[in-house]
Amino acid sequence: MRSLWYVWPNPLASSRGRSGVKHTQLNGGGPAKAAGEIIVSGGKVLVNNQTGRYSAQAAGSVNRVKALLQSLGQTVEIVGRL
C-alpha cells in the first residue's frame, strides 16, 4: 500500500493508502517541513522525499523520518521514487 507522508504541524501524518491524495490535502495546503512517499514491502518500510508540492524541504528530513520509524521497531530503507 503506497501512501504519502508529511511532517508539520503533525509529527508524521499519512494518507494511509488512499489513492489520488495530494500532499496539500493532508494538511489543508499549509506548510510542511518535509513530505514524501512511503510503502511497506517485503517486511521493510520504504520511504523517500518525493513530492511535487514541497520542494524546499528541511535538510535531512527523510533521515529523521527514517529514525522515527526505526525507533518504532521498523526496518526502514530510503529509496528513490516508489
pLDDT digits (tens, 9 = 90+) for 43-69: 899 998 888 776 656 678 888 889 989
pTM of the predicted model, to two decimals?
0.69
Give the number of other CB atoms < 10 A from CB of residue 61: 19
User: DSSP letter at 57?
Assistant: P
- Residue 21 C-alpha cell reads as 491524495
pLDDT for 64 equals 86
Rounded distance between C-alpha atoms, residue 4 and residue 73, angstroms: 20
Q: How far is CA 12 from the centre of its chain?
A: 8
